[in-house]
Amino acid sequence: MYNARNHSNWTWILFLGFIALSVADIRFAMLGLLCMILPVYHAIRGRGRIHCANYCPRGSFLTRTLGKFSMKASMPSFMKTNAFRNGFLILIFAIFGTNIYLSGGDISRIATGLFSLVIATTLLGLTMGIFYRERSWCTICPMGHSSNLIARARERK
Ligand code: SF4
């Protein structure tokens, strides 16, 4: 079984670094693609949601930021359904795909769209984390859900 050290106590620094670099030069926002690729890569390699548990900078950021402020209420149960997660995944990828299509291949425009998506979903994650548990966002996160779907498909083989 794959064994990895847990780095989630410090990777929030990478998330803040990503924000700072992107503000300095929006093209750095393309680094956000790593946060889309790595969870899926690990899941395809049979490591399940190891990215979420051990590495994810945004997950680490949510834990770090909201640990003391979260009201820790239960999320509405509809948000935990596969139908909701699938719909949200499709919505986010549709927004991402439309942004790429409309960019005309301009890296700065793709990066701006990606950065806007990261900021919008992070604000949603922070809002959810204040009312519900600090990592509630991870219940509906499209990349976490994608990793889950891949891991389950591998188990069925
Ligand atoms: S569910 Fe999404 S935000 Fe949460 S740890 Fe996984 S990839 Fe990161």
Would you say residue 2 lies in a domain? no
Mutate to test the pocket of ligand 1, among 47, 58, 66 (most ligand atoms within 8 A of CB): 58
Q: How far is the CA of 57 from the centre of ligand 1 (A)?
A: 8
Would you say residue 107 lies in a domain? yes
Tokens 């509809």, located at residue: 78
Does residue 6 fall inside a structural domain? no
Predicted confidence (pLDDT) at residue 4 exceeds the cutoff of 90: no
What is the reported pLDDT for 157?
77
Residue 73 bridge partners (DSSP)? 132
140-151 tens-digit pLDDT: 999 999 999 999
In a domain, 124, yes or no: yes
Q: Which residues, 6 or more positions from 60, have their beta carbon under 8 angstroms from its beta carbon?
A: 8, 9, 10, 11, 12, 15
- Interval 106-111 mean pLDDT: 98
pTM value > 0.85:
yes
The vertex-8 CA angle with 120 and 124, nearest 5°, equals: 15
Does the pLDDT at position 44 exceed 80?
yes
Q: How far apart are CA 39 and CA 35, in angstroms?
A: 7
Q: What is the mean pLDDT of the chain?
A: 95
Look at residue 45 and tell me if it is in a domain.
yes
Phi (first) and psi of residue 132, to 5 degrees: -105, -165
Q: What is the pLDDT of residue 39?
A: 96
- Please indicate, yes or no, if residue 7 is contained in any of the structural domains: no
Question: Residue 16 falls within a domain, yes or no?
Answer: yes
Which pLDDT does position 70 carry in this prediction?
96
Q: How many domains does the chain have?
A: 1
Residue 85 pLDDT exceeds 70: yes
Range of the domain at 80: 12-156
The values of phi and psi at residue 103, to 5°, are: -70, -20
Q: What is the pLDDT of residue 3?
A: 59
Residue 3 lies in a domain: no
